[in-house]
Amino acid sequence: MDGNAKLWNADQAYSVGNYGYVGGGTYNNTSAISGTNDDPLYHDGRYGFDAYQFDVNNGLYQVSLHFAEVFKDNLGERVFDIRIEGQTLISNFDIVSAAGKFAAVVKTFGLQVNDGQINIVFFNVAEYPIISAIEVVGTGTVDTKSFQKSENFF
């Protein structure tokens, strides 16, 4: 549970009818994370994955991607693109450039789902992508779900 009493679900491999990652490994880092009151949300994460898929009802959603660079020190060491629902929404994303090392950064997007699935695909530019958490919230008359993107939260 985070500081706003929001319960987050654990990371898992994707299975039909559910949510989860496609590929990659996990990491853990216990360093303090600036820009958030919820450090534990950014301590665990996934690296080197290809995508995340969320089977959801059709409707309007807000998707928030939570990042903190806990390994790389310099600009340009980790750069990747993010495509959601077939559209490249972030090109050449560099967490260090956006927030610095050991600092939280959140990127939020609104989207319409018409095929029953939210697809978030990551493409390496320099080094593999990492992510700490993903939040998916229905903004219409659809179910609201929050998914935490890490194993062993708290």
Summary mean pLDDT of the chain? 90
pTM of the model: 0.90
Inform me whether the pLDDT recorded for 71 exceeds 50.
yes
Take residue 39 and report the two structure tokens written for it.
Answer: 């450090």
Picking from 128, 130, 113, the residue whose alpha carbon sits closest to that of residue 54 is 113
Task: Give the whole-number percent of the chain exceeding pLDDT 70.
Answer: 91
pLDDT class for 38, splitting at 50, 70, 90?
A: very high
Picking from 93, 108, 105, the residue whose alpha carbon sits closest to that of residue 42 is 105
Task: Give the whole-number percent of the chain exceeding pLDDT 90.
Answer: 81
Residue 99 to residue 126: CA distance in whole angstroms? 17
DSSP-assigned states of every residue in 76-144: TSSEEEEEETTEEEEEEE-HHHHT-BTBEEEEEEEEEESSSEEEEEEEEEES--EESEEEEEE-SSSPP
The whole-number pLDDT of residue 115 equals 95
The whole-number pLDDT of residue 149 equals 45
Q: Which domains does the chain have, with CATH numbers?
A: 19-138 (2.60.120.430)
- Tell which wins on pLDDT, 109 or 5: 109
Inform me whether the pLDDT recorded for 7 exceeds 90.
no
Give CA separation, 110 vs 3, 85, 95, 113, 117, in Å. Answer: 24, 11, 21, 10, 14
Q: What is the per-residue pLDDT across 51-67, written as a single tens digit (0 to 9) for each?
A: 999 999 999 999 999 99
Alpha-carbon dihedral of residues 9, 122, 73, 150, nearest 10 degrees?
A: 10
The whole-number pLDDT of residue 5 equals 81
The whole-number pLDDT of residue 27 equals 94
CB 106 within 8 A of CB 64: yes
Q: What is the per-residue pLDDT across 128-150, written as a single tens digit (0 to 9) for each?
A: 999 999 999 988 754 445 554 43
